[in-house]
Amino acid sequence: MSILILVRHGQSIYNSENRFTGSLDVDLTEFGKQEAKIAGLKLIDFKFDFAYTSTLKRAQESLQIILLEMHQTKIKVIENEALNERNYGNLQGLNKDETINKFGAKQVAIWRRSYAICPPEGESLEDTFNRTIPFYKLEIEPKLKLNTTILIVAHGNSLRALVMHLENISKEEIPNLNIPTGVPKKYIFDENLNVLENKYL
């Protein structure tokens, strides 16, 4: 059996300010660092073979805090932009409530949660899926077939794309999926990478 753990980075400064973050590179809040620390404590009994993260510092710092709590700072860490948060285009940096007041709640919900519709000048979840999943299949699946235990610390939408793939969630159902910050999700696979178990820890 192989194990995959997914963790969304801890709360960022823009999360706390209710802003669209996307591809902007912002820091964790103190609360976000604490979330990552708690995630590390929850994972203390796991022995990871590899860890993956994005090229954005909020995910990288969350991963380092998790590994520090687990006393596993020597494992190989792979950073790749395929795991980056989706680009929210012209919405990046804007307050979400102010954006709703300007464009309407329905339109903002479509930009944020739908599968195929992009925010202005940004990426859709489909675009994110089309860079995240090929990387997962090429880089991570072959390692999972070797009965490894792998940690991915990334972002709300790159992880939504991964969960969509792993759990066969439809385009119609995916708007309902939210990934909480700092809560590890465990997948156990058989030798053919069929999911035997998935649950939050």
Residue 85 is a catalytic residue: yes
Using DSSP bridges, classify how beta strands 149-154 and 2-8 pair: parallel, antiparallel or unpaired.
parallel
In a domain, 138, yes or no: yes
In a domain, 195, yes or no: no
In a domain, 176, yes or no: yes
Tell me, what CATH number does 105's domain have?
3.40.50.1240
The domain total for the chain is 1
81-124 pLDDT per residue, tens = 999 999 999 999 999 999 999 999 999 999 999 999 999 999 99
Strand partners, 154: 8
Per-residue pLDDT at 123: 97
Range of the domain at 139: 6-189
Written as tens digits, the pLDDT of the chain (201 aa) is: 999 999 999 999 999 999 999 999 999 999 999 999 999 999 999 999 999 999 999 999 999 999 999 999 999 999 999 999 999 999 999 999 999 999 999 999 999 999 999 999 999 999 999 999 999 999 999 999 999 999 999 999 999 999 999 999 999 999 999 999 999 999 999 999 999 999 999
Residue 165 is a catalytic residue: no
Amino acid (one-letter) located at 156: G
In this prediction the pTM is 0.96
In a domain, 199, yes or no: no
Residue from 9, 35, 123, 155 carrying the catalytic annotation: 9
- Selection from 85, 157, 84, 92 nearest residue 119 by Cα: 92
Residue from 35, 61, 69, 85 carrying the catalytic annotation: 85
In a domain, 10, yes or no: yes
Strand partners, 85: none
- How far is CA 197 from each of CA 2, 51, 189, rounded to the nearest angstrom? 11, 20, 7
